Structure 1
Amino acid sequence: MDTFYHGSQFVRDWLLAFTHGKLNVKFDAIFPALINGLKLVGRNEPERVVSNIVRELYSIKEETSKKKEWEKMQKLQDCCAKLYTKPCFLFRVVNTALRCDDRTKLNELGPYCYLVYNYIGRHTNQSMPFRHRLRQSVRVMDAQPMILYRGDAVCSKTLEEYKQAAGKKDKCFRWLPFVSTSLDRDIARNFGQNVLYNIEVQQYLSNDQFTYLNNNTYFENEKEILLKPGARFQVIKVEPDCQLKRQLVHIKIIPSFVSNLI
């Protein structure tokens, strides 16, 4: 079960510490912290893998050397998000640290997590006045939700908690790491072991919590939608699928968009 806190406390605490509470991150400050952190967490990995990651990041630095600050940060976010899909150690160590709330990795992985976290929420139009966004959200309340899928391995204790919470609006759960999902059910079935999530997302009200990686990925055919750390959800129902030999867990992402504006 979870509290009503929105977002990632791991990312928040890194940001507060890194900026000394000022919450203002500059490219020239975060870039060396990012490089050093990834080198440290990758010190036991094959050298060529880490070198390739560092080379990609330095190419962004060179490419954007004469760009404006916001352009530099966006390009760096783009690169970090794509690296998340790279078949290497990175996504595993990131999600293990987030899932376990491993504060010993805060300095090493905080910069990377911060950049990917902000990449996901970047398409939210922060310049639009609150009242206008609120009116828009009311108009789209009945819009058709987006359905995502995720194959996963879930322990028996958590699965039982899902069953007990099914249909209860006062019971919610939260994913601490980044969560990869797909628009394609068949693709999601290739991952995980004993559970297939059917995930309902209200596209407008939750659009700060997900991003379609589209062409910014190493696996374009996976139709991947990436969810932010801290995504909260309610369980609608749990049912067995005899054909798949898995439990189908139907969930609904709890919107945080309007809440985060207040």
Structure 2
Amino acid sequence: MATSTYTTPKNSLKCVEWMWQANPNPFSSSEPDIWNHYSDVENLIIERAYSNGEARAVLDDYYIDFQANRQISNTDDYKQRPVKRVVRNREDKHLREERFVDLPVSTERFVDLPVSTEHSFGGEYGWVSPFIIEVRRDLKLEPDELPSKKPEMIPQLVEQAAQGIIKEGKYIRKEEEAKELANMLREQKNNGIEQVWQRCAYIYSLESFLYKTLNATMRLVGDKEHESVWRSKIRTLGPFCLLLWDDPCNKKAKTKKTLYRGANLNREQIAKYEKMAKNNDEYGSFQAFTSCSRNRQKAEVFGNTLFIMEVVIAFTADLVGLSEYPNEEEELITPGVSFCVTKVESDRKINRHLIYLKLRQRFSSK
């Protein structure tokens, strides 16, 4: 992956982490201390204000008083909790279970399958993510009009993406977090597509509302009951999604690679995969961007099921050199990658269900 020209934002997380005391009574001497992590973006906001010698850092629901080492509610000064600044090695960072376990599909339609077997591909969309197709239509782009092929469109598309992120942030009362992400993206506005994509990948790798909202939206495509929901997000999330999807650093599909992802599945959900395993001609595809790990041991920590995915030929992106969490060994599967189930079994030694998938890209180019 071409990451040699990549530079992290000036205010990267590096070795600093801010935490807040979460036990019911944070000022009790009898209760054991419980410390929770701020989100990555909140950490960036707090650390920048701290490094600049400011008196406080303003978040969406609270502000941090550095002199008092307190988190204080923006609406009630009596709601306070202690905070602390922790310096540690990047390798010591906590693993993010939600990122590698949440199931990237609508639970009502596909019974928590981590992929869609009905609407992800085929028909008028071919093998490209339907959400991407609709974003390109909304932007009135011709087939050959992509930022990787038409650099002059990059500044405007980056600005549209930044404004869309802010609108989504306002909608869920995460405006400060959204502005931080938007400004981070705007820093690359006048650079080439490689730098822009790498910044998008870095932003996506952060723990924030953005990757969750984007993927939840993309999983709804094909669901008639929620069509108005995902279509309402095309103009806000679409530009960022397109920039992330139009990856100039991974132009060739990957082969001969194995990826892993944990999940919590019940008996009914596992039966769905067992049924697919009986028909090698039955394919589904990933609806959204899907985070996996190249490290089996780390993926096994999460859930009661382990997906073991053999990449026959598919577009994926190695995020290790871009992520603030290199120890996760994150690999991102591109929306629209198809799969078949080859085997489902149980491993009593590790107390996990094992589901084997083969990943295959039906189109070799975008």
Q: Do Structure 1 and Structure 2 share a fold, with TM-score over 0.5?
A: yes
Aligned residues: 230
What residue is the counterpart of 2:133 in the other structure? 12
Q: In angstroms, what is the RMSD of aligned CA positions?
A: 2.4
Supply the distance in 2 between the matched residues of 1:91 and 1:239 (Cα, whole angstroms). Answer: 31
For structure 1, the 5+ residue unaligned runs are: 126-136
Task: Give the Å deviation of 1:159.
Answer: 2.3
Q: Check if 1:111 corresponds to 2:239.
A: yes
Task: Give the Å deviation of 1:257.
Answer: 4.4
Supply the distance in 2 between the matched residues of 1:60 and 1:92 (Cα, whole angstroms). Answer: 23
Moved more, 24-33 or 178-187: 24-33
Distance 1:20 1:179, change over 3 A: closer
For structure 2, the 5+ residue unaligned runs are: 1-116, 147-152, 222-229
Distance 1:98 1:17, change over 3 A: same
Equivalent residue of 2:243, what SS? helix
Equivalent position to 2:161, from 17, 29, 34: 34
AA aligned to 2:127 is: H
* TM-score where L is the length of structure 1: 0.79
* TM-score where L is the length of structure 2: 0.58
Larger Rg belongs to: 2
AA aligned to 1:14 is: V
What residue is the counterpart of 1:129 in the other structure? none
Supply the distance in 1 between the matched residues of 2:330 and 2:298 (Cα, whole angstroms). Answer: 9
What residue is the counterpart of 2:306 in the other structure? 196
Supply the distance in 2 between the matched residues of 1:97 and 1:14 (Cα, whole angstroms). Answer: 13
- 1:72-110 Cα distance to aligned partner (Å, 9 max, x none): x22111111111110111111011001112222111111
Supply the distance in 1 between the matched residues of 2:305 and 2:155 (Cα, whole angstroms). Answer: 43
What residue is the counterpart of 2:48 in the other structure? none
Supply the distance in 2 between the matched residues of 1:12 and 1:153 (Cα, whole angstroms). Answer: 31
Task: Give the Å deviation of 1:156.
Answer: 4.5
What residue is the counterpart of 1:246 in the other structure? 352
Q: Is the 8 A contact 2:158 2:186 kept in 1?
A: no
Q: Check if 1:222 corresponds to 2:328.
A: yes
Equivalent position to 1:56, from 172, 184, 187: 184
Equivalent position to 1:182, from 293, 306, 311: 293
Q: Percent identity?
A: 24
- 1:220-251 Cα distance to aligned partner (Å, 9 max, x none): 11111100011110001111222433311001
Q: Check if 1:94 corresponds to 2:238.
A: no
AA aligned to 2:198 is: D
- 1:139-198 Cα distance to aligned partner (Å, 9 max, x none): x9xx8x21110112345544222101115221111110111111101111233x232100
Moved more, 33-42 or 15-24: 15-24
What residue is the counterpart of 1:134 in the other structure? none
Task: Give the Å deviation of 1:122.
Answer: 4.0
Equivalent residue of 1:148, what SS? strand
What residue is the counterpart of 2:272 in the other structure? 161
Supply the distance in 1 between the matched residues of 2:142 and 2:185 (Cα, whole angstroms). Answer: 26
Q: Is the 8 A contact 2:164 2:236 kept in 1?
A: yes
Moved more, 169-178 or 152-161: 152-161
AA aligned to 1:220 is: P
Equivalent residue of 1:19, what SS? coil
What residue is the counterpart of 1:256 in the other structure? 362
Q: Is the 8 A contact 1:8 1:229 kept in 2?
A: yes
- 1:15-62 Cα distance to aligned partner (Å, 9 max, x none): 12203546524113212210111011111244432222122112222x
The higher-RCO structure (CA 8 Å, 6+ apart) is 1
AA aligned to 1:84 is: Y
Q: Is the 8 A contact 2:259 2:310 kept in 1?
A: yes
